[in-house]
Chains A and B, each alone.
Chain A
Amino acid sequence: MNEILDKIKQKYSAEDVKVQRTGLAFVTVNKDVALDAVTWLRDYEGYSHFVMMSCVDWIEDGKFQLLYLLHNPVTKTDVGVKTLINRDNPAMTSGHHLWKQVWTYQRELKEAFGIDFPGSPRVDENFVVEGWVDIPHMRRDFNTKEYSEETYFPRPGRETHDPATYMREQLYPNQPVTAKRKDNDK
């Protein structure tokens, strides 16, 4: 494991190498060499199983963080390759030639975050939501509650109660609250 991490550091000048636990490590590499690193891990180091690909929205830094998680079925270890891309006009080199399931992940990311993967097959088709015209719905600046209230006719009169307090008020209004109960309420 550590050998591989050292090699990645040397070959792709990886930063922020973090071993999460035995058999799981994350590295952050530059956007330009991220797919090279993934390809190298797949072809030379035996990380042939593509687990998943996901995205984190770092809105304060103006960055999207992409994660390619790979698994080695022989040594039973995982390596996550992270990379940061710009939040304005986000685009990333497509990895559809590496695994077929990457197509679907890239389609999902295109719909949910608006990240473009030029050349990826069917990347412009709907993934989950049909006919979406607003900003991509998984971005953090999209306010889902506001959107729901504007669009879906909220029924007035909706209120929320803490179940423990509400039940006590309704069922045993005269009973004093004991110290023990107070602790439980936390």
Chain B
Amino acid sequence: MSEKDMNYKVSQMLKRSETNVSNAKKSFVRPEDEEREVVAPDGSIMKVNPIYDYFSGKRPEEEKPKNGIVEKFLNWARAESIWVLGFGTGCGSIEIPPLVTPRFDMFRFGVQMRPTPRQSNAFIISGYLSVKTLKRVIRTYEQMPSPKYILALGSCTINGGMYYDSYSTINRLDKYIPVDVYIAGCMPRPEALLAGFMKLKELIKAGKAEKANEYARNFDEYKANQKKIIKDWNMPDYNW
């Protein structure tokens, strides 16, 4: 980088920090996302609210299961084909890679990794969850297609574990998103994770894994809890 480029970069950064100071300190919405009035090309003035214009602000709806034997058949297919989102949140994410190795091989049970939330239906919250990560987890969880399942790994998701008195990690995951299966331990071994998958399969086959609907039903409660700790809420209430 030449001296001139360097100077330019520094001046840009200084400018950016100045604007940050001059903006109201308590508003966490980025300047380009703020609700404001803009002048359209034809001269008329229109209001824009980028957060709700770019993303749908629609609430989630409960989606009723189909009747009887059809739903049972579909549940069987869902249970035998669990696609896990590749998203590690804490130290427990190191327990997931062994599952795709010859020793533990989760593909035998129809459990596969998937790189995008749009195509996955199971989410492993692996270990402690800081508030910063929780924000991303909520966004990702809401983008997953229903029916979706959450496996909470490790004691940190149950009661905070060894980080129970930390200022930045949450204590109880089920206050913020609904959890299907808890896998206790610090850390749980990969075998425990496989046992958790087996439990999840049982629940799905019994038609009891309807937590996505529960999330839609108690949406306000969950949102209130989430907003209580995520102080810089600069995204829509529901992310499709």
A and B touch in the complex (CB under 8 A): yes
Q: Residue-by-residue, is A146-184 near B (CB-CB < 8 Å gives 1, otherwise 0)?
A: 011101111100100000000000000000000000000
Flag whether B217 is at the interface (Cβ < 8 A): no
In contact, B231 and A133 (Cβ under 8 angstroms): yes
Least CB distance, A160 to chain B, in whole angstroms: 10
Give chain B's interface residue range (CB within 8 Å of chain A).
20 to 34
Q: Which of A15-23, A30-38, A74-82, A124-132 contacts B (4 or more CB under 8 A)?
A: A124-132
Flag whether B42 is at the interface (Cβ < 8 A): no
Question: Given A121-B10, A144-B166, are A130 and B172 also a contact pair (CB < 8 Å)?
Answer: no
Contact of A155 among B132, B158, B228, B233 (CB under 8 A): B158
Flag whether A137 is at the interface (Cβ < 8 A): yes
Question: Given A152-B171, A153-B172, are A133 and B135 also a contact pair (CB < 8 Å)?
Answer: no
> For the complex, what is the distance from the CA of A137 to the CA of B26, rounded to whole Å?
17
Those of B165-197 within 8 Å (CB) of chain A: 165-172, 175
Which residues of chain B are within 8 angstroms of A155 by Cβ–Cβ distance?
158-160, 171-172
Least CB distance, B182 to chain A, in whole angstroms: 12
Flag whether A84 is at the interface (Cβ < 8 A): no
Flag whether A53 is at the interface (Cβ < 8 A): no
Q: Which of B12-20, B66-74, B101-109, B203-211 contacts A (4 or more CB under 8 A)?
A: B12-20
Flag whether B131 is at the interface (Cβ < 8 A): yes
Flag whether A115 is at the interface (Cβ < 8 A): no
Least CB distance, B108 to chain A, in whole angstroms: 35
Q: Residue-by-residue, is A41-71 near B (CB-CB < 8 Å gives 1, otherwise 0)?
A: 0000000000000000000000000000000
In contact, A144 and B165 (Cβ under 8 angstroms): yes
In contact, A151 and B164 (Cβ under 8 angstroms): no
> For the complex, what is the distance from the CA of A11 to the CA of B215, rounded to whole Å?
67
Question: Given A132-B231, A145-B165, are A125 and B175 also a contact pair (CB < 8 Å)?
Answer: no
Which residues of chain B are within 8 angstroms of A158 by Cβ–Cβ distance?
159, 164
In contact, B164 and A154 (Cβ under 8 angstroms): yes
Flag whether B28 is at the interface (Cβ < 8 A): yes
Contact of B229 among A142, A149, A151 (CB under 8 A): A151
Find the B residue at minimum CB distance from A103. Answer: B13
Find the B residue at minimum CB distance from A149. Answer: B165
Question: Given A129-B131, A131-B28, A153-B175, are A148 and B164 also a contact pair (CB < 8 Å)?
Answer: yes
Find the B residue at minimum CB distance from A96. Answer: B10
Least CB distance, B97 to chain A, in whole angstroms: 26
In contact, A137 and B17 (Cβ under 8 angstroms): no
Which residues of chain A are within 8 angstroms of B216 by Cβ–Cβ distance?
none
Contact of B167 among A119, A126, A148 (CB under 8 A): A148
9 pairs, CB–CB < 8 Å, chain A vs chain B: A121-B17, A125-B20, A128-B168, A131-B231, A148-B166, A152-B169, A153-B171, A154-B160, A155-B159
Please list the residues of chain B having a beta carbon within 8 angstroms of any beta carbon in chain A: 10, 13-14, 16-17, 20-21, 26, 28, 131-132, 135, 158-160, 164-172, 175, 225, 228-233
Please list the residues of chain A having a beta carbon within 8 angstroms of any beta carbon in chain B: 119-126, 128-134, 137, 142, 144-145, 147-149, 151-155, 158
